[in-house]
């Protein structure tokens, strides 16, 4: 367990089926294992309640969404977080009136929901047709103070954008987490993005001098007559971008890495990366095309 400013970060990965109860059972088993190995925070992959349905565009899948208050994955995860005394960011398909979001509920170690983040960047490409299902998130980036540190969470496609990681760091994040679902590219069977995927997030860790972790699913999934495979390779990167723990492409995995948050904070301050920022020069980042707004 955490001692002083030390936090043990856990990540789990597994194959999903279309049996919600079975996926909850698998997630709970691996979360328990991570907590048993000392994890204070455990990250589970994106939309782990079922198959990654965004391979296809089919209105039937809107029936998978539920409001936060009655979503079938939320209450069991609250109970588990409370029982184990851990923080659990939980990915879920959210329905709010007529709107649908790809969301995270941040559950603290008492089982309370600290808040919800809705995915900001929504991809749209072969095998990843998320714009059909999800509105762009309206929450803005979020960070949550917890007993084990201040946590920022982005969701999958968010992880490719350095602006998102930097925004969470500026808001006080001490650790940045990314639940994800990524694998083969149906339009480019020759393309393997795994190392690129890892490298981008490892860059966020190094640029912001804080741990970054990603949880991905594994296995092949067939839905709507289409099959896509997911390459696992979940990982935890340290504040220098180096891998502190990593999982294989296949097979269930539980990863643990421990960090001293005070040491990390002292190191960030000493390096001066945030001291020497020049936001007055970064206006191009607030435009779509880098153009002059004056």
Q: Which sequence positions are flagged as catalytic?
A: 46, 119, 156
Tell me how crowded residue 153 is: count the other CB atoms within 10 A of its CB. Answer: 24
Cα separation, 236 vs 8, in Å, equals: 11
Neighbours of 173 (CB within 10 A): 26
| CA trace torsion 163, 165, 168, 174 (10° rounding) | -150
Give the residue among 227, 203, 229, 222 at the shortest CA–CA distance from 214.
203
**Pairing relation of β-strands 6-13 and 253-260?**
antiparallel
What is the rounded distance in angstroms from the CA atom of residue 40 to the CA atom of residue 34? 9
């Amino acid at each position: 367990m955490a001692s002083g400013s030390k936090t043990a970060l856990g990540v789990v990965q597994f194959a999903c089926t279309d049996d919600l109860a079975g996926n909850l059972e698998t997630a709970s088993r691996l979360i328990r294992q991570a907590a048993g190995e000392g994890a204070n925070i455990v990250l589970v992959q994106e939309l782990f309640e079922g198959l990654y349905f965004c391979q296809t565009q089919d209105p039937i899948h809107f029936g998978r969404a539920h409001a936060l208050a009655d979503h079938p994955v939320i209450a069991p995860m609250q109970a588990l977080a409370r029982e184990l005394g851990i923080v659990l960011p939980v990915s879920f398909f959210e329905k709010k009136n007529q709107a649908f979001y790809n969301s995270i509920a941040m559950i603290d170690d008492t089982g309370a929901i600290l808040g919800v983040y809705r995915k900001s960047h929504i991809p749209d490409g072969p095998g990843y047709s998320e714009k059909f299902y999800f509105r762009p998130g309206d929450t803005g980036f979020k960070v949550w103070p917890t007993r084990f540190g201040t946590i920022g969470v982005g969701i999958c496609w968010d992880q490719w954008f350095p602006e998102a990681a930097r925004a969470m760091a500026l808001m006080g994040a001490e650790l940045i987490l990314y639940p994800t679902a990524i694998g083969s590219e149906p339009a480019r069977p020759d393309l393997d993005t795994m190392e690129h995927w890892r490298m981008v997030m490892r860059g966020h860790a190094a640029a912001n001098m804080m741990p970054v972790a990603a949880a991905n699913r594994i296995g092949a999934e067939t839905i709507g007559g289409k099959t896509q495979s997911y390459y696992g390779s979940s990982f935890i990167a340290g504040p220098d971008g180096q891998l502190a723990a990593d999982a294989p492409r296949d097979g269930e995995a539980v990863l643990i890495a421990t960090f001293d948050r005070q040491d990390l904070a002292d190191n960030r301050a000493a390096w001066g990366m945030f001291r020497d920022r020049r936001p007055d020069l970064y206006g191009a980042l607030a435009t779509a095309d880098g153009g002059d707004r004056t």
